[in-house]
Amino acid sequence: MGHEQASTTLNRYTHTPDDYAARVLAAFDSSAASLLPPAEEVPSESAFIEDEEGL
């Protein structure tokens, strides 16, 4: 069973919220950096260099 065309199913059973267009525009209007998780601190190179005693 089902509809003859997929578009019939999509038109009948899928709906977008009233504020959908505004939310999409806001997402593209804001900086992409705001979508990324906060950056973690990266250890400096000196943290990877061991002295001779540590070898």
What residues does each domain of the chain span?
Answer: 1-28
* pTM of the model as a whole: 0.32
Q: Could you give the CA distance from residue 55 to residue 45 in angstroms, rounded to a whole number?
A: 17
What is the per-residue DSSP string for 9-37? HHHHH----TTHHHHHHHHHHS-GGGGSP
Residue-level pLDDT at 14: 84
Do residues 2 and 9 touch, judged by C-beta distance below 8 A? Answer: yes
**What residue has token string 């950056």?**
39
| pLDDT, tens digit (0-9, with 9 covering 90-100), for 1-55 | 678 888 888 888 888 888 888 888 887 876 666 666 777 766 666 656 665 555 5
Do residues 3 and 9 touch, judged by C-beta distance below 8 A? Answer: yes
